[in-house]
A and B are shown apart, each in its own frame.
Chain A
Amino acid sequence: MSNSASPPPVPPYTGPGSPQDVPPPPGSFPIDPASLPPPIRDELLAPDPVAIDTSAAELKDGLNRCPKCGATDIKQKPGSDLLICLYCRNEWHAQRVEEEFGLGEGLDQLEGTVIASGARDIAADAASVMTFKCTGCGAEVTVNTENAMTARCHWCRHVFGVNEQVANGAVPDAVLPFHIKKDDAVARIRQFVDKRRMFALKAFKEQFTPENVIGVYLPYMIVDGKASADVSGHGEILTRTYTQGSGDKKKTYYDADVYQVERHVDFTVDDLPLESSSERGNLDTGTNTNNIINTILPFDTKNAVKWNASYLSGFSSEKRDSGVEQLRPRLENQLLSIARAQVEASTSRYDRGVRWEQEGLSVHGTRWVSMYLPVWLYSYHQPGSNGGMLHYIAVNGRTGETMGSVPVQQWKLLLAALTVGSVLETIALMIVGNT
């Protein structure tokens, strides 16, 4: 029996399409579109239509009082981070957490684990449903913090927001307000799908209604860290290339010098986002399409403001269920990947590549801030075995970056592939036959 105090190692992520693979450069396509048949080529090369940015969805009233007149009729000014009082038209900006808590400073002096109050561990007995007593009429109003942070009193129409950090982990330290308006998000989703219609599932095309997109605040941990990493392995430098044999037997051979390579790097990372919902953090592309939501990262988290439920009026939200300790293995995994990317440039002389064999990480200090980030989500459920697959098209609520998963009509895709394959095979047979 092992007496080791350290936890067992995390099993490696495997499988095709796993997000552990380094993603391809943006906009790249593995086949030259010019070599494809015109209809497919036209779809791939079609320009992105301009996203329409017109009116915004009306936001509901919040509970926060206007600092000038005291009215509670407050909403976010669409397309900005401002809150506006509809009674006196006063506009004000909530305090940015970056300046308020000095989150952008002292990265290279981080020591230990610094956890902001909203990122504390979730109390084991915490309930999702919270009850408030209405100060206007005395009625009891409940808010289900699983998916909402505000609720309206059904008697006197007063709006309640969950504004205090509570033990159930629903209230983060900061919130990044939506900038992209609903119409803009709808246009972006429509243009994304318009470029992927030819082989899309028929039922998906028939039911496609991007107006059903919903704005969701998703929970993230934003982590600053200071770390050191070491990697070691072997690298090869080409010394000679030569051919032996002649005609069909001609073969190329290589000589190389083998080096033992060791690298060390000290670095700090600023605002690394980690999904703090265990469901969203599961990026297994075989069972879900959460990698779509992961892809629209990063956000301009420097502009996040102090928690204020008024920003969440009219939007849905998801609750955090992971604490710092649950997320630490994933942070270390990402820090190791960052270190490997950092040392890559120093191995350029090894023109036959490097095989890293060992790696180590020392995390000197981390700072964790819990944050709600804005995402427009369109979802389509594709029926199938094991409950089918939920396909997402996600729009970053700040930058407008759009990514999605469109279900494919398998027989159409197979038919197109077989047709192109047959044409190529016919050409090959003609060439072989002629020789």
Chain B
Amino acid sequence: MSDDGGLWLLLLGPAGATGLYWALYRYYRNTDKSHDFEHETAVEAKPVTGSDRKVDEVRGTQETRIDGDNVRAYRKRVTRIRRNSS
């Protein structure tokens, strides 16, 4: 076994303890729960429209996902373009 692999294994204890504490705390206190209004509200949407334009290429990155991926973090607000709302 390599040295790196051995060091990784030594993290098992602290990681397991932290993970169990966090998971049980959430199970008791449920601080992560809220109404899932995105999926539990009756929404009727017209077909989504839009455009896709290639603008750049990334070469040789070690990241598995795009930096700042928020496609599933619906509630993380990004820069708001203000329009007139009635």
Q: Taking beta carbons and an 8 Å cutoff, which residues of A are in contact with B?
A: 6, 9, 12-13, 16-17, 19-24, 29-31, 36, 40, 44, 107-108, 111-113, 196, 199-200, 230-231, 233-236, 239, 248, 251-273, 283, 285, 289, 291-292, 294-298, 332-334, 336-338, 340-347, 350, 352-365, 403-408, 413-414, 416-418, 420-422, 424-429, 431-432, 435
Contacts and interface: CB of A to CB of B under 8 A. Distances in A.
A334 B37 contact: yes
A424 B48 contact: no
B12 to A, nearest CB: 4
A417 B35 contact: no
B84 A20 contact: no
Main secondary structure of the interface of B (DSSP, over half): mixed
Nearest to B79: A358
Interface residues of B, number: 80
A20 B75 contact: yes
A161 B60 CA distance: 72
Interface of B: 1-4, 6, 9-10, 12-14, 16-46, 48-86
Nearest to A193: B28
B80 A9 contact: yes
Given A24-B32, A233-B78, A269-B42, A429 B10 contact: yes
A271 B73 contact: no
Given A258-B55, A432-B10, A352 B64 contact: yes
Contact of B36 (A23, A254, A260, A266): A23
Contacts of B83: 360-362
A237 B5 CA distance: 31
B45 A30 contact: no
A347 B71 contact: yes
Contact of B81 (A196, A230, A294, A426): A230
A91 to B, nearest CB: 30
Given A255-B58, A346-B48, A421-B16, A297 B66 contact: no
Given A23-B34, A233-B78, A256-B57, A199 B10 contact: no
8 contacts: A30-B26, A258-B57, A259-B53, A354-B66, A363-B85, A408-B24, A420-B20, A429-B10
A241 B48 CA distance: 31
Nearest to B52: A259
Given A405-B28, A416-B20, 14 more contacts: A21-B32, A107-B44, A111-B86, A235-B66, A254-B61, A264-B50, A298-B35, A298-B41, A338-B37, A341-B39, A355-B66, A358-B79, A361-B85, A407-B29
A405 B13 CA distance: 28
Contact of B46 (A257, A267, A291, A297): A267
B20 to A, nearest CB: 5
Contacts of A111: 86
B30 to A, nearest CB: 6
Nearest to B46: A266
A258 B58 contact: yes
Contact of B42 (A271, A297, A407, A431): A271
B18 A353 contact: no
Nearest to B68: A355
